[in-house]
Structure formats: C-alpha cells, structure tokens
Amino acid sequence: MRTRRMWPVAVLLLAPALAACGDDTDDGSEDTTTSAAPTQATTTASSDATTDAASEAIEDPTTSAAPADLPSACDLVGEADVAEAFGVTVVQDGAGRGTTTENNVEWSSDTCTFAAQGLVEIRVKLTGPDDFKDGTFLCPRPLEIAAIVEPVDDIVGAEEGWWKVSDSPPLEALMRACSAAANIDIDIEYEGEYEGDPRNQSVALMEKALANLAG
C-alpha cells in the first residue's frame, strides 16, 4: 500500500508479518462476515410459504407445561368426558405442547389427544392470552382449505366460536371456542365411517371444557 512508505522504520520491519496475517485486505475493501443463522425476515418468509396453505400443529412432550393460571389440556377434560360427548370409548393417547400458525398468526397450545383405535382421534388444545407470539390475544378464523367454515354462537360459556368441517370424506373437523380466559380447540379426525352429529358432539365436549375452565 502507498501509505506504508510514510510509516516509521520500526513499523516497516513488521510489514512481512502483517502481510502474512492479512494481505488480502490491502485493496481497501471491508471484510464482512455473514451469519449462518437466518434473519427474522427470512424465517418469516419461509414460514409463510408453508403455513398460508394449511395449519401446522406439532406436539412436543418435552416442552414446558401449561401456562400459569391455566390447567393442562388433559386436566381440562378426561377420557370419560370425551366418551360421553362422542359416544365412543377412548383412551388418552398423548399430551404435550404444540405450535399452530394460521393466516400468519402463531400461537402455542397445551394439547391432549384421545383416540378410539381405528375410528377417531380427538385433540383438545388449550391456548392462553400469553401464548400468542405477537402478544395479541385473538380468536382466529380457521383456514378454509378444502373445508367449510362457519361461525358458532350457541356454545355456552364462549364469547366467539368457529366450526370447520372437511368438504369430503374422511371427516376432519375443528371446533374453536374463545372466552376471556382462553381459547379451546377440539380437533377431530375420523379414520373411517362415523355416526352421530360431530358438530353437536363437539359443542357438548366444548361446553364441558369451558365449564371446567371457569371452575
């Protein structure tokens, strides 16, 4: 570099060592390092691409318990409550925490899964006000992909509600009810033929869950 000609002799004697350590910056360009970790914008864009089309819910039994002041989903309703509402014998088949993203809104829930083998799986999800990623407590409208979605106003104990049902077999449905304390989802997946009225059955279980939540 041209400026080296003006340096003192003592500094010039160090030039060979300095050149060996980093001569690649002598062209005056600034050395920058790009972190391998994705930026928030990148992560959001990637998430949007996969979650705008469908809701994602992932159970993780290794994560923390339900939020403070709320019971766990498995304490909210039990096998007997589900069996009474749906008219089938079920067993508790899993529990944990999960994350859901719908229409760019993300929240986590405490989840309890019940199953009647070969017939139906029913997941109860409990979401508190602090479980929303952006801090805004909402009652999101479910996505209308290959399904029919309609508001529900006949759930005792709920301020707002939604019913979502697949428009072709096998039957998949979601009942969502929202109160001032929490949101509750009842997610139903039938493996084969089903009997009864899944909407009214979901309302019956939802009202039991809301009553237990209110104490």
Would you say residue 176 has pLDDT above 80? yes
Domain at 118, CATH number: 3.40.1000
The answer to whether residue 7 is domain-embedded is no
The answer to whether residue 43 is domain-embedded is no
Please give the pLDDT value at position 215.
86
Tell me how many domains the chain contains: 1
C-alpha distances in Å from residue 65, one per residue of 121, 127, 128, 136: 22, 12, 12, 21
The answer to whether residue 49 is domain-embedded is no
pTM greater than the 0.85 cutoff: no
The answer to whether residue 167 is domain-embedded is yes
The answer to whether residue 74 is domain-embedded is yes
The answer to whether residue 202 is domain-embedded is yes
Domain span at residue 69?
A: 55-214
23-43 confidence digits (pLDDT tens)? 444 443 333 333 333 434 333
Whole-number Å distance between alpha carbons of 171 and 194: 8
Angle between helices 198-214 and 79-86 (to 10 degrees): 150
Summarize the confidence of residues 92-103 as an average pLDDT. Answer: 94
Give the confidence band of 194 by pLDDT, cuts at 50, 70, 90: confident
The answer to whether residue 137 is domain-embedded is yes
